[in-house]
Structure 1
Amino acid sequence: MSAVEPLSEMNLPEKMIDALFKAAELIRSYGGTVRLITHYDGDGLSSAGILAKSFMREGVSFHFSATKNATPSIEEFMRETSSELIVLADLGTALVEDLEALRRKRKLGVVIVDHHDTAGRDSPVMKEDFVEINPRYYDYDGTREASASTISFLLSLALRGDNLDLGVYALAGAGADKQLQEGAKGINKTVADYLVGEEMLRKEVGVRLPGESLERALYLAVEPYFPGMSGRSPAVRRFLKELGIKGEWSFEELPEEKCISLNSALYLYLLKRGVRHEIAKLMFREIYWASLHGERVDVEDVGYEINAAGRAGEYSVGVGYVLGDEESRQRARGLRQRYREEILQRMLQIEEKGGKVLQNIQYIEVDRDVYAGTLAGLCMQYLFDPEKPTIAVTRAGDEVRISARGTWYLVKRGLDLASALREAAEGCGGRGGGHNIAAGATIPAEKLQEFLRRLDKAVGSQMEG
């Protein structure tokens, strides 16, 4: 299949398609080993797997690394290799100045595949040997409408049109980045609709609660998290008994009238505990089903499994999953189960102890940064004051890592966490950025209280405006 064919049928911006083909040609024409660097989460590792598989099909050799830092030192990575072409995915837009400085020191080609905030720049880098692809430059919302894995998939199609099978992982990465919660939008929807049309995906609407039985599913539920019931077997049994539902039933065995009763009861349960209705209704959502290894799978589950591998530091497992390695897939599933249990235990502790509250923000201290973003998001949605963004703080030696989460309700009121964290972090000698609804930063440990004061002030100014 021609590389032009799928991309031409997706009705994407012409300048974006030009950038994709320019990047593809830069990769294809390079005769050495490509240095591939991505973020370590589900979106980053899905991107890595998509690009790695595409490179392998093109006969392009590569050296892969993943990083927890959204703004890593590229020069340190490049010291390990003589490669003269670097491909960055799920990061890079915030590093354009660093990359330009590095290019002045040594001959270096650069391809950036990112979807994060552009820090005020209104056009991408587009040079003979430096191509930046970020959907934000083409009027797409990189927080909800296009993930790095989605753009990596489009780049794979620019390399060769028969990479359509990698589209499953594009949506898996988008799902891991929470971009499918309110249904696929923007480029994500374009890709999803195309794959449904090609009968590579099937779309349904339902409730996402993984578990072998209803009792187990509700016990393990972290997204949605049910305060007072998740992680508490007696409470789960009482809840189901009042509905006349057997805990050992699976969702598939549930009679239709009982299914309606259960869905309504769960929705009302959340509302009664102060969860905003737009969060509670996220239980009912589009589910994209795919066939992988002869098994029917929910693509969001695939993304969460890849994400769990990244959070566990087993980056090769996440990439191996996309490459089709069965051992990696089974390992990722086990890691996801463990990750979910770890999140559940920490949510129970936070539910008991609460968080710390400032005038415009609230924050928790987290023992490991791999849990920080997830915990901040869940606390924001299901436990804490929905009028204030939630910050997770993790101490790591002489630095502190920050993960911040908001809601679309707060974004509509003016919240922009990427801007607020960047401003507060830079004022403390650190770095920050990300999305309006979710962002991160790294600061010197001794500057934590100053950072929190600066962030509290910045968020207050945004919300007042």
Structure 2
Amino acid sequence: MEILARHGQTRNRMKGLIMKGGAVLPKDFNSIISEAAELIRSHSFARVISHYDADGISAAGIMIASLKRAGIEYQATISRSLDRATVESIADEGSDFVIFLDMGSGQIEWLDEIRGDVLVLDHHRTVRKSDKVLQVNPHFHGLDGMKDVSASGLSFLVCTALDDKNWASAPLAITGLFGDMQNLHGYSKINAGIIEGAIERKLIAKETDLRLSGNSLTEMISSSVSPYFRQLSGRDDAAAEFLRSADLDESAAYGDLKEGGRRRLMSMLTLRLLGQGCSKETVLELSGDIVTASANSMRIDDLTELLNACGRTDHPGIGLALCLGDLDALREATRFRKDYDRMLLSALGKVEDDGAIVMKHIQVLKPSNPSLAGAICGISMQYLLEQDKPTLAITRSEGSTKVSSRATKSLVNAGVNLAESMKSSAEQVGGVGGGHTIAAGATVPIAKEDQFLELVDSMTGRQLGTGS
């Protein structure tokens, strides 16, 4: 774990509205949000623990900005995972109040042992309710944490209940939902309300366009990680030749293209993805919402990638500083993103060349860099590998095997539940696991790696109704 920040100011009492802009919150969910805000308000110090991905860092940024506004002291840590050792370390600190963001609902039995007040804001599937730990989790209230709200959205709801001025953090809540890819099939329920409220307050602008970015058309394609274009991503010369074949100026900026050129580019890229076997839902993601924060004119998808790169390259503190408006952090984060994307493109090129280890019901990748595993797993599932088998990426780190898994929407509709298969299979071999139906993870003993994969393969077969 990495200690990232401390702050102290005079404490004030603030009150505010929970939500505006169209989101309809279930009454019991509204009540728990208010209770969480009151719990925060009752303390003069908060120990904050959050996840290291874009959603977790955004959630922490929202919470810390709100604590600062309320004059509440804080100490924040961004962590890769929430294991038993991490919880014991936090408990040993003896804090009167601990807030867990984007984690905690799967480890309630451990959090029950922390002496002080504990607040969990988590959108992952939960194990159970707790008499001691206050959980703000959508799954308790008929909402889906995979599509209706992310951890940053939960942090935003609680913080706007604390003080309506915290609506200023709406772009960060949107960054988090982009980070967890909850924007790809439209916005539902709470996410829709945050988007609508932010537009009403002129905090963001939104338009629909090609979901690529870059200074030139060549850069847009060759630097594209997701979507990943076979034989074009990571290859400047090939991308330039592809554009010339479409009678497009490879050095032109996308903004300089006339409507006919934009349509031609979209058509060529669509055919490219279809030709490499991508699903219809993946191809449709080529075009989508381009959301821009009004305060700094930054595209939300760019901020998402910057935060993700900071977390994955072990610089989450820079990402958190970026959320809090540090311009020096922006320069650093931009450098980390370039390095991270370069590593990702190299690793994805290897998957493109070598493929995966194919089992009966799953396919397995073994990337060399643990920090890239989740991204490689998800991007490969969408753009490079078979669409009828969930993808697992396994790496070894700190004496254990770390597992990331991804499915597609169609696989989930067919019965795949990665949260269930990761948790059950990991526990059978002495590990831990969990997450969402479409994306989950696990940590298992290295000696049990093969047994774990066999268990997941068998369970996936049963979920799909094709046997074990």
Alignment-derived partner of residue 305 in structure 1: 306
Q: Which of 94, 99, 122 matches 1:82?
A: 94
Match of 2:26 in 1: 13
SS at match of 1:22: helix
Of 308-317 and 168-177, the range deviating more from structure 2: 308-317
Q: Write the distance in 2 (CA, Å) between the matches of 1:117 and 1:213.
A: 42
Deviation sequence 1:226-258 (CA, Å, 0-9, x none)? 112212233212211111100111110011101
Q: Tell me the distance in 2 between the aligned counterparts of 1:22 and 1:68.
A: 28
Q: State whether residues 47 and 95 of structure 2, in contact with CA within 8 Å, keep that contact through their aligned partners in structure 1.
A: yes
Q: Give the Cα separation in 2 of the matches to 1:267 and 1:70.
A: 40
Q: Which residue of 2 aligns with 1:184?
A: 187
- What is the CA deviation profile of residues 329-368 of structure 1, one whole-angstrom value per residue up to 9, with x for unaligned ones? 2211221122111111111111111110100000111122
Q: Which residue matches 2:117?
A: 109
Q: Which amino acid aligns with 1:429?
A: G
Aligned to 2:233, the other structure's residue is in SS state coil
Residue aligning to 1:384? 385
Distance in structure 2 (CA, Å) of the matches to 1:206 and 1:188: 20
Show the counterpart of 1:99. Answer: 111
Q: Distance in 1 between matches of 2:372 and 2:295?
A: 28
- Decide whether the 8 Å contact of 1:208 with 1:284 is kept in 2: yes
CA 1:165–1:426 in 2, change beyond 3 Å: closer, same or farther? Answer: same
Letter in 2 for 1:112: V
Residue number in structure 2 paired with 1:243: 246
**Is this contact kept in 2: 1:411–1:436, CA < 8 A?**
yes
- Deviation, 1:5, is 6.2
Greater alpha carbon shift after TM alignment, 135-144 vs 69-78: 69-78
Distance 1:72 1:228 in 2: 43
Which residue of the other structure, out of 211, 233, 239, is the alignment partner of 1:230? 233
Give the aligned partner of residue 288 of structure 1. Answer: 291
**In the superposition, relative to structure 1, how do residues 76 and 98 fare at CA in structure 2: closer, same or farther (>3 Å)?**
closer
Q: How does 1:257-296 map to 2 (within 5 A)?
A: 257-293=260-296, 296=297
Local SS of the residue matching 2:404 = strand
Aligned equivalents of 2:200, 2:84: Cα separation in 1: 39
For structure 2, list consecutive stretches of 5 or more residues without a partner in the other structure: 1-13
72-81 or 298-307, which deviates more: 72-81
SS state of the match for residue 294, structure 2? strand
Report the CA distance between 1:184 and its aligned residue.
Answer: 2.2
SS of the equivalent of 1:152 reads: helix
Which residue type is aligned with residue 109 of structure 1?
Answer: D
Q: Which residue matches 1:445? A: 446
Identify the match of residue 215 of structure 1 among 198, 218, 225.
218
SS at match of 2:256: coil
Alignment partner, residue 396 of structure 2: 395
Q: Unaligned regions of 5+ residues in structure 1, if any? A: none
Shift of 1:291: 2.2
Instruction: Give the secondary structure class of the aligned counterpart of 1:297.
Output: coil
Alpha-carbon contact 1:42-1:176 (below 8 Å) kept = yes
Q: Percent identity?
A: 32
- The match for 2:199 among 187, 196, 212 is 196
Query: Separation in 2 of the partners of 1:200 and 1:95?
Result: 36
* Separation (CA, whole Å) in 2 of partners of 1:345 and 1:253: 30
> Compared with structure 1, are the counterparts of its residues 72 and 64 closer, same or farther at alpha carbon in structure 2 (3 Å cutoff)?
farther
Instruction: Read off the aligned partner of 1:367 and give its amino acid letter.
Output: S
Over the aligned positions, Cα root-mean-square deviation in angstroms equals 1.6
Q: Tell me the CA shift for residue 96 of structure 1.
A: 1.2
Give the alignment's TM-score, normalised by structure 1: 0.94
Q: Distance in 2 between matches of 1:320 and 1:436?
A: 32
Secondary structure at the counterpart of residue 292 of structure 1: coil
Do the aligned partners of 1:153 and 1:170 also contact (CA within 8 Å) in 2?
yes
Within 2, Cα distance between the matches of 1:7 and 1:189? 11
Q: SS at the partner of 1:252? A: helix
User: Is the contact between residue 71 and residue 92 of structure 1 (CA under 8 Å) also seen in structure 2?
Assistant: no
Q: Once superposed, which parts of structure 1, at least 4 consecutive aligned residues long, lie more than 6 Å away?
A: none
Aligned length, in residue pairs: 453
Secondary structure at 1:249 match in 2: coil
CA distance in 2, matches of 1:89, 1:365: 29
Contact kept in structure 2, 1:219 and 1:230, CA below 8 Å: yes
Deviates more, 1:157-166 or 1:334-343: 334-343
Return closer, same or farther for 1:347/1:62 CA change in 2, 3 Å cut-off: same
Q: Any conservation in 2 of the 1:71–1:94 contact (CA below 8 Å)?
A: no
Deviation for aligned residue 1:186: 2.3
Question: What CA distance in whole angstroms lies between the structure 2 residues aligned with 1:236 and 1:319?
Answer: 34
Tell me if structure 2 keeps the 8 A contact 1:363–1:393: yes
**Distance in 2 between the 1:202 and 1:454 partners?**
47
Name the CA distance, whole Å, in 2 between partners of 1:179 and 1:40: 18
Q: SS at the partner of 1:377?
A: helix
Query: What is the rounded CA distance, in whole Å, between the counterparts of 1:175 and 1:158 in structure 2?
Result: 23
Q: What's 1:463 paired with?
A: 464
- 2:81 is aligned with 1:69: yes
Per-residue CA deviations over 1:79-138 (Å, capped at 9, x if unaligned) read 5523111100000101111122x14xx3x101100000124x4xx44x5x6311011222
1:320-335 maps to which residues of 2 (within 5 A)?
320-335=321-336
TM-score by length of 2: 0.93
